[in-house]
Amino acid sequence: AQTVTQSQPEMSVQEAETVTLSCTYDTSESDYYLFWYKQPPSRQMILVIRQEAYKQQNATENRFSVNFQKAAKSFSLKISDSQLGDAAMYFCAYRSPLSGTYKYIFGTGTRLKVLA
Amino acid sequence: GAGVSQSPSNKVTEKGKDVELRCDPISGHTALYWYRQSLGQGLEFLIYFQGNSAPDKSGLPSDRFSAERTGGSVSTLTIQRTQQEDSAVYLCASSLAGQGRADTQYFGPGTRLTVL
């Protein structure tokens, strides 16, 4: 069974600095999808970025980028020029692409604090 | 357009009472998920609906939990004879497909359930 591990329960970053949140996963599949979701205090989960495992290029979305290391089964999220609004819980998630398989496996989350 | 909505936003109930949590998915989304998020934990899959197919109830923690999806749209999660360990945030998400190539889940704001 697939598992997702986020080993950093909490991280802090100074405003305008860069922070990296780590995520590792375990799977025997060669093709899959990885996601980072943000959950601010409002509880609304928001998709930050997604990565298809068959793509070698790391996904980027504005200030957010990932470092996808398929062999190491690592999927870290880098936030550049951190802003106060980035403070939230961040969840890493895995999804199999197999037809009929629809479950997302979530990590336990990393709470990011942004210091002014 | 409108996102996923959930009601109520907060629910406080007494141990032993029944509760109903409602989810209105994005119009046209055929897949609907329910998750439970306990304090400091990740998201725990509860149940999945896809179109007219039989739902996957494999994540429901006990027979006190049940869910319906009427007309392929609105879903209701019912917890009977609530226990204190049922206290959590219950999140609903919907997506276009739910199978095959990964689709993006859109989450509602959740219902915070407190069982006294």
The predicted pLDDT at position A54 comes to 87
Q: Are B86 and B38 in contact (CB under 8 A)?
A: no
The SS3 of residue A9 is: coil
d(CA B42, CA B54): 26
Instruction: Write the pLDDT tens digit of every residue in B3-33.
Output: 999 999 999 999 999 999 999 999 988 889 9
What is the separation of C-alpha A71 from the centre of its chain, rounded to a whole number of angstroms? Answer: 17
Percent of chain B with pLDDT over 90: 63
- Tell if the CB–CB gap between B100 and A99 is shorter than 8 Å: yes
Quick one: closest CA in B to A109, which residue? Answer: B42
Once rounded to an integer, what is the mean pLDDT over residues B90-95?
94
The C-alpha of B67 sits at a distance from chain A's nearest C-alpha, in angstroms, of 17
Instruction: Write the pLDDT tens digit of every residue in A32-75.
Output: 889 999 999 888 899 999 998 888 899 999 999 999 999 999 99
CB of B40 less than 8 A from some CB of A: yes
Residue B85 corresponds to which amino acid? E
